[in-house]
Amino acid sequence: MLITLALCPSVVPNSLFGMGNPLLDISAVVDKDFLEKYGLKPNDQILAEDKHKALFEEIVKKFKVEYHAGGATQNSIKIAQWMIQDPHKVCTFFGCIGEDKFGEILKQKADEAHVDAYYYEQTEEPTGTCAACITGDNRSLVANLAAANCYKKDKHLDLKENWKLVEKAKVYYIAGFFLTVSLESILKVAKHASENNKLFTLNLSAPFISQFFKDALMEVMPYVDVLFGNEMEAATFSKEQGFQTEDIEEIAKKAEALPKVNKKRPRIVVFTQGKDGTIMTKGGDKVETFPVLKIDQKDIVDTNGAGDAFVGGFLSELVQDKELEQCVKAGHYAANVIIRRAGCTFPEKPDFH
């Protein structure tokens, strides 16, 4: 099945637009005691509360940490640009940072990744951080949004020169995490995409989004052309929506059938399941499963960026007007590369055909 886009044969700069929470990832292999001390589940994603404030200092003092430019949307956008390679700056990214050292690192990393990043910089809050607490092949993420939480539609998205970049794009991607920050910004972009028959894509991102930001999520859902998520997020979404099923294929079908504004294209739902196959709705009652690439357990270094990488790979082909099956293959390839490395990092060039 082909999703058609009015695109030139080759992809042009600013074709793929992402907006989200730019965070500096602080990742470390930790122990069970550390997780217990801060009440963390081995495999989870949460927003930092007061009780987690000391965690960010302790992880740096106690364990060997690595710093990487992160934040779910930014990771995916970076991977998409890496997969595309040329031209540079096919991908645009908006988000909020602080005027500080971590903010400078994020700007530098975006530049190195050839992403066209336009940050809203402010002085009230420092640049956001995310602690990735790794145990075995599990990862527990604790995000301290700080500056990322300060993104303002009127101070950044609405500015004429910035909105022009939104208008240039053909495909839009926002992780569900941004629903906690600026619903009005998401809706402005989503409505633009829908009104102009462009593709708006969203990620369920984490169970807590479906639970505690349900109203915001469902306000955006009618504009979603491609919905991403993993098996845990799908299960929570199903429960919160009263779908009364734990069968992932049924959940995908029900999510696909939710009301949609732009009737010119069916909603595509894509759910990853770790090492199990990725499922994708194909319009109507069809659901297809795609096996992931085999990998030896001993080659897995860090699964932290796998979901973001899958989306990045998928989007890199979607923006080039490729078949959906090819988008899934690219997603699997990108995830397979990322889990062999620490953080959401990648070799110089992809080897995807």
pLDDT in tens, 236-268: 999 999 999 999 999 999 999 999 999 999 999
For residue 8, the model assigns a pLDDT of 44
pLDDT at 9 > cutoff 60: no
**Residue-wise burial string across 153-174, b where 16 or more C-beta atoms lie within 10 A, e elsewhere:** beebbeeeeeeebbeebbbbbb
pLDDT at 343 > cutoff 80: no
For residue 193, the model assigns a pLDDT of 98
pLDDT at 269 > cutoff 60: yes
Q: Which two tokens stand for residue 271?
A: 């759910």
What is the rounded CA–CA span in Å between residue 339 and residue 284? 34
| Residue-by-residue DSSP string for 295-341 | --GGG----TTHHHHHHHHHHHHHTTT--HHHHHHHHHHHHHHHTTS
Q: Which two tokens stand for residue 327?
A: 């988008």
For residue 341, the model assigns a pLDDT of 83
For residue 136, the model assigns a pLDDT of 85
Is 308 known to be catalytic?
yes
Q: Are the C-beta atoms of residues 327 and 310 closer than 8 Å to each other?
A: no
Please tell me whether residue 236 adopts helix, strand or coil conformation: helix
For residue 6, the model assigns a pLDDT of 46
Report residue 244: phi and psi, to 5°: 55, 40
Report residue 318: phi and psi, to 5°: -60, -45
Total Cβ atoms within 10 A of residue 145: 22
What is the rounded CA–CA span in Å between residue 130 and residue 172? 24
Q: Are strands 268-273 and 276-281 parallel, antiparallel or unpaired?
A: antiparallel
For residue 3, the model assigns a pLDDT of 54
Of 299, 308, 321, 351, which is the active-site residue? 308
For residue 305, the model assigns a pLDDT of 84
- Cβ burial of 25 (10 Å; 0-12, 13-18, 19+) is buried
- Cβ burial of 284 (10 Å; 0-12, 13-18, 19+) is exposed
Share the mean pLDDT of the chain: 93
pLDDT category at 283 given cuts 50, 70, 90 is confident
Q: Kind and range of the H or E element at 207?
A: helix 207-212
